[in-house]
Every structure is written in structure tokens, then in C-alpha cells.
Chains A and B, each alone.
Chain A
Amino acid sequence: MDEHGTTLSPGTSLGQSAAQERLDLLISRVLRLGVTVAAVIGAVGLVLFFLRGPQPGEPQSLHELLTLRAGSLATSPQQLLEGLLTGQPEDIMRVGLLVLILTPTARVALTLILFLLERDFVFVIISAIVLLILLLGFVGIVGG
């Protein structure tokens, strides 16, 4: 792993349990995967944007972009889906950003499962509440 490998390597030298070791690795992987997928989708959207220019309904010039007012680009799942089906660059970027937003939520869901496997019920409840707050913040606004 690195030059200090033998003395400070993960696992037994830290006195951590195998379960803790697995949890750390899995969390690390989920975070990395979510961010990587989001970055790839975002990059594809950007390349398309450079090729095709702004889609209708989005800022058409730099001036328009920089003087944009808050709330004027509100979107919905239906609009997003329609844009995706026609390959609109901005909507592809939106999907990348959505994947990013959902990555920490996936991490919380994952830790909930791992605490469940460890039968650590206090932390199962704690993770479940955090997950609920995240989903309320997200879904509550989509519906309304």
C-alpha cells in the first residue's frame, strides 16, 4: 500500500474487528462508485453541450447565464425524462448531479444494513432516522 505499510496497515494492527474492516472498505467503495458514475455522466453531458450548444429553455448566452435569477430553471421528473429521451445535454448533466446527490443517501442505507448484520440495534435506529430525514428532504419536495 505505501512505505509505512507493515506497521500501519489496516486491520489487525489497529485491533479492529473484521466487520469494522469490511464496513470501512464497503463505505469507501460505494462513495467512490457513486462519485465516479456521477462524474462520468456529467462529463458526457458537458461534451454533448460543447458539441450541440444549449438546449431550448436553458440560458443561451453567457450574459443570460450570469444574470439568471433563482428558481427560474425549476424542473420535474417528467421534464427531466423527456429531455433525456431526446438526449438534451443539460438534462444528462442533471442526471449526473442527481446520482451525486443520492450517493450519500446510499451510503447511509448501506451502513444501516451493516449495523443490522452486526446486530447493533441502537445504530440501526440512528441510521434509519438519518435515512428518513434524507428521503423526506428529497421526495417531499418532488411530490409537492
Chain B
Amino acid sequence: MAGIELFVLVLFVVSFLAGLLGSLIGLGGGILVVPVLTLIFRLDIHLAVGASIVSIIATSSGAAAAYVRDHLTNVRAGIFLELATSTGAVLGALLVPFLSSRMLYFLFAAFLLLSLGPMARRLGEEVPSGVRPDWLARHLRLGGAYPDRVLGRVVTYEVTRVPVGFAMMFVAGLASALLGLGAGALKVLAMDWGMRMPMKVSTATSNFMIGVTAAASAGIYFWRGDVVPVIATPVMLGVLAGSLVGAQLLLRLTNRRVRQLFIPILLVIALQMLLRGLGVW
């Protein structure tokens, strides 16, 4: 019995660190929760995904509240793109019982490795210039402005290639539900590479959307019994505390630093999950 209680405390501390890092790199924090629960504590990956998907709502909502208040978030673009992520997420949650644990490990590793390439290549772009809005962006008025504290001015920007971003967001929703992560990497990519939005706006809007994406599948996980209270609650509380600290730090970092943090962390996790999928470790 004392074992469970100690475990709960350890989970809280580990989740705090996951929430801190996750918030800094614009991910849900779940990208670290699932590997910790499965690789270190050897939990069934389906249950790890259940705990993670709920904790993601806490991380993203905590950070999203701060970003929205500071006007970094593009609310209109976020809501429009949630059409794609929530559809993908419901589909993913209905699919997941038919997938084996090893398949999920493979998908997790593959998903992370795929998101690494584009991140590394475009390292360092703060604010895209010369963006011409496409038809959808003009009619939905998706362009915006945000105060950049590091540059010390208000940056106005346009949005383009909306269909590309929309399609990527559907995949992000699917991946979020299957793998218990916010798919923040793919969401940021869909916006800053796909739709050419500034990195900071992409990160903030990603956080804004992650909660809705996760909630779309979390209800299904919850009633199915894959959100175990003794696991999900300390994870949720730890990740929430960590993400609140992280959101404060992000406002003082440049976009380039955010990305540099991104890459090595993802690489290590991807390799570990790949080994697990192969049954090596």
C-alpha cells in the first residue's frame, strides 16, 4: 500500500518536469509523460496514453490561458483548425483498441522522428516575411498581430496555404488521440511551415488547440476505463504546475532558443520508443 503512495509522489515530481519542458517547447507535455510511464514504470501504453491525454488538457489550458491573455494566440485560426483536429481525434480514439502496444510504440517513434526533420532544417526563423494571404485566409480573416517582447514591437502577419495546414491538423488530431500527446510538434509545423505564421504565434495557438483536440478523445478514454485516477491525477497536477512555470519562461526566450530545446529531446525519446517497439529495451 505504501508503494502506491510513494509512486504517486514520484509521478507528481516527474510530471512537474515534463510539464515544464513540454510547455517550453510548445508541446502538450504528454510527449514526455507517455515515455516516462511506459519506459520507466513499464505501464501498459494504452493506460499511459489515457493518463497523458487528460494531463495534456491541463498543460495546454494553463499555458493557453496565459498566451491568450498576452495576445500571442490567433483565436480565429485556432478555432477554424479545430474542425480538423477534433474530427481526427474522435476517429483516433475509436481506432486505438484495435492497435497493439508494439504498433503504438512504433507509431510514437515514427511520429517524433518525422517531426524532427522540418524542425532542424528551418531552425532560426523568427518572423516570416512576404506572406500573401490565400483565399480562405482572406475570407476568414485569419491574419493577426502580436506583441513580441524580445523584438520590442507589435508584429503584424498574414496567413497562407490554409488547406495545407488544415490537412496537417487532421493528422495531428489522429496522432494526438492514438499516442496521447498534444501533437504540438505537428500543430506548430502546420502553422509556421504550412501556413507561414510566426513561431511564437504558432506555439501559442498550438497550445490553445491542444486542449480541444485532447478533450475530443479524452471522454472516450475516460468511460472506457483507460484514465486511471491514481495515475492520471498526480500526472495532471504535476504537469499543470510545471506548465505554469514554463509559460512564464517562454515569454522571455527567443524563438530560436525554443527550437534548439526542441530537437535533442525529441530525438532521444524517439529512439527509446523505437527500441521498445522492436522489443529490444
Interface residues of A (CB under 8 A from B): 4, 7-8, 10, 13-16, 23-25, 27-29, 31-32, 34-35, 38-39, 42-43, 45-46, 49-50, 53-54, 58-63, 65-66, 68-76, 89-91, 93-94, 96-98, 100-105, 107-108, 111, 122-123, 126-127, 129-130, 133-134, 136-138, 141-142
Interchain Cβ contacts under 8 Å between A and B, 18 examples: A13-B147, A14-B147, A24-B69, A29-B65, A31-B64, A45-B229, A54-B4, A61-B1, A70-B225, A71-B224, A75-B223, A103-B211, A104-B211, A107-B212, A123-B79, A126-B83, A133-B216, A134-B219
Q: Is the CB of A68 within 8 A of B47?
A: yes
Partner of B217, one of A7, A126, A137: A137
Q: Is the CB of B4 within 8 A of A62?
A: yes
Known A45-B233, A103-B215; 17 more pairs at CB < 8 Å: A4-B149, A8-B147, A35-B65, A65-B231, A68-B228, A71-B224, A73-B228, A75-B222, A93-B230, A94-B222, A97-B227, A98-B222, A111-B75, A127-B79, A130-B82, A141-B219, A142-B219
Q: Is the CB of B225 within 8 A of A71?
A: yes
Partner of A75, one of B58, B217, B225, B234: B225
**In the bound complex, how far is the Cα of B60 from the Cα of A38, in angstroms?**
14
Q: Is the CB of A68 within 8 A of B211?
A: no
**In the bound complex, how far is the Cα of B228 from the Cα of A69, in angstroms?**
11
Which of A15, A43, A58, A62 counts the most B-chain CB atoms under 10 A from its CB?
A: A62
Q: Is the CB of B54 within 8 A of A100?
A: yes
Give, as a whole number of angstroms, the nearest-CB distance from B111 to chain A: 20
Interface residues of B (CB under 8 A from A): 1, 3-5, 7-8, 41-44, 46-47, 50, 54, 57-58, 61-62, 64-66, 68-71, 73, 75-76, 79-80, 82-83, 86-87, 89-90, 93, 97, 140, 145-147, 149, 152, 154, 211-212, 214-220, 222-234, 236-237, 240
**In the bound complex, how far is the Cα of B228 from the Cα of A35, in angstroms?**
18
Q: Is the CB of A66 within 8 A of B229?
A: no
Which of B5, B93, B218, B234 counts the most A-chain CB atoms under 10 A from its CB?
A: B218
Q: Is the CB of A39 within 8 A of B4?
A: no
Closest 8 CB pairs of A and B: A62-B3, A138-B219, A74-B225, A70-B46, A93-B229, A73-B225, A104-B211, A8-B147
Chain B interface main SS type = helix
